Structure 1
Amino acid sequence: MTTTVAGKCWQCGTELSKYDYGRETLCLKCGKPTRACRNCRWYDPAFTNQCREPQADKVLDKTRANYCDYFEATADPRSESDSGADYRQAAEALFK
């Protein structure tokens, strides 16, 4: 039986299957919660409340497990450094 990779852990990058995103499920490698904002496709530090889903409830700690109805696992978790400042620096570097 093969398990399809649904995403990666936001902390350590371990591949996770669709069954690894339960409310109280932890990453087997680093022990961090897998159903957390940092593992969601809507997470974006550059947006209000750090979420691109406008109807989602505000979650203060993006690294803790939560009950968000809009959670969708992502294969490319964003780091805290993935913000607008990085994009601005890249754009400025183009014009030097």
Structure 2
Amino acid sequence: MTRSIIGKCWHCGAELSAADYGRETACLACGKPTRVCRNCRWYDPARTNQCQEPMAERVMAKERANYCEFFEATAELDSEGNTANQNLRQAAEDLFK
């Protein structure tokens, strides 16, 4: 049985499957929790509350497991934990500096 990879760990970059995003689940490679803001597709450090979802309750510790009902695993993260959308946004902002 092959694991369908849907994201990467926010801390070490290890590949994660859907089963790796449980509330009490930790990354097998580094031991950090996986169901955290930093692993969510809505995470955006440039936004108020660091979240693109306006209805989400504020979560202070972005690297700790939480119960956010809007959590969706991030598909692609770079080595610094940024999503592709964040990288595109930053590139656009850099053009106009």
TM-score normalised by L of structure 2: 0.82
Please tell me the root mean square deviation across aligned C-alpha atoms, in Å: 1.9
The within-5 A match list for 1:1-96 is 1-77=1-77, 78-79=81-82, 87-89=92-94, 91-92=95-96
Task: State the shift of 1:29 in Å.
Answer: 0.7
The separation in 2 between residues aligned to 1:43 and 1:76, in whole angstroms, is 12
Structure 1 unaligned regions, length at least 5: none
State which structure, 1 or 2, has the greater radius of gyration over its C-alpha atoms.
1
How many percent identity over aligned positions?
Answer: 60
Match for 2:47: what amino acid? F
Task: State the shift of 1:26 in Å.
Answer: 0.5
Match for 2:51: what amino acid? C
The separation in 2 between residues aligned to 1:57 and 1:23, in whole angstroms, is 17
Q: In structure 1, the residue corresponding to 2:16 is in which secondary structure?
A: strand
Match for 2:40: what amino acid? C
Q: In structure 1, the residue corresponding to 2:28 is in which secondary structure?
A: coil
Structure 2 unaligned regions, length at least 5: none
TM-score normalised by L of structure 1: 0.83
Task: State the shift of 1:88 in Å.
Answer: 3.2
Task: State the shift of 1:85 in Å.
Answer: 6.5
